[in-house]
Amino acid sequence: MPSVREADGNRNWSTEELRVLAAIYFNASFSIGDDARDECRAIADCFGRTPSSIDRQWRNLDAVVKGKATYNIGNLVRQTANDYLAHPTGSKAVAVSICEEQGWPLVSLIMEGVQPPLVTSANSSADAEMRLAFRNLLDHLDFKLFSSGSQGFFCQGKITLDNGRRYQAQVTAVLIGSKDDLTMHVHTTRDEMTFALQPLLDRLENKTFKTGRVGYYANGKAKVDTERFQVGIQAVEIGEK
């Protein structure tokens, strides 16, 4: 079976490590893969690796899911991600079993990550699909000077789920205070903003809007260094009310 060579003493990544990491990726908040997070450090301690190597492999998994062909990603990483997508329930059970056998205290990250948890009902499947679609939409996030004078980031596009439902979606992140203070300028990069938005995607909820249309919605604040952004995320179903 192919292996993935990593910088930690040129030690190859094992199938067991990747299966556990993939299970955490698909069930926990995306932001815990950041090497500054305690969860990332806990994973690194279990695997005997550096937090930065966990962060790097985490982003490799994300690139596979988003179909980023420009990334140089090993076959074993691609296979592990695709295996999970094809057999999520079984892959999750295998990852839990590996943690128990290895004595890795990571089961809670697999079992108690994203809410609602991964189940087989049609609604929860669509919810998970919508979160993934928004992560893909964030590839188009860009700086925007809003008509109000505020600065921030914006992207929009159409999302079609496997059940055939189509949505008009958008993400808006406004730098707090930039409307009234003309000396303020956005210093956050697009990649930094994309990463900061990931926890809010985990909070997407079903919503009936005032127009009577249905869809998904989340709002909140995102912080990058000293800059704070007011964020709105929504997807409105296209068609009859």
* One domain, residues 65 and 163: no
pLDDT of residue 23: 93
Amino acid at 217: Y
Q: Are residues 107 and 148 in the same domain?
A: no
Same domain, 102 and 67: yes
* Best CA proximity match to 89, nearest among 6, 27, 163: 27
Do the Cβ atoms of 151 and 165 come closer than 8 Å? no
Q: Which amino acid is at 191?
A: D
Radius of gyration of the chain (CA): 19
Q: Quick check: is 173 in a domain?
A: yes
The answer to the question of residue 116 being in a domain is: no
pLDDT of residue 125: 61
Residues 165, 75 share a domain: no
Query: What pLDDT score was predicted for residue 69?
Result: 64
Residues 91 and 137 placed together within one structural domain of the fold: no
Can you give the pLDDT at residue 124?
A: 55
- Tell me how far apart the alpha carbons of residues 37 and 59 are, in angstroms, rounded to a whole number: 14
Q: Say whether both 100 and 126 belong to one domain.
A: no
Residue 129 near residue 161 (C-beta atoms within 8 A): yes
Whether 131 and 106 map to the same domain: the answer is no
Which token pair is 87? Answer: 């057999």
CA distance 236 to 150: 24
In this prediction, the residues of the chain whose per-residue pLDDT falls under 70 are: 1-10, 69-71, 112-125, 240-241
141 and 96 in one domain?
no
Question: Domain containing 8: what range?
Answer: 4-111
Question: In total, how many domains does the chain have?
Answer: 2
Burial group, residue 7, by CB count within 10 angstroms (0-12, 13-18, 19+) = exposed
Length of the chain: 241
The two structure tokens encoding residue 169: 């979606």
Q: Give how far Cα 168 sits from Cα of 110, 137, 231, Å.
A: 31, 11, 17
Contact in structure between 34 and 195 (CB atoms under 8 Å)? yes
Q: Give per-residue pLDDT as tens, 145-195.
A: 998 889 999 999 999 988 889 999 999 999 999 988 888 999 999 989 998
Whose CA is closest to 128, among 118, 141, 138? Answer: 118
The pLDDT tens digits of the residues spanning 112-121 come to: 543 333 333 3
**Cis omega (within 30 of 0) for bond into 117:** no
Residue 45 lies in a domain: yes
Residue 117 lies in a domain: no
For residue 148, being part of any structural domain is answered with yes
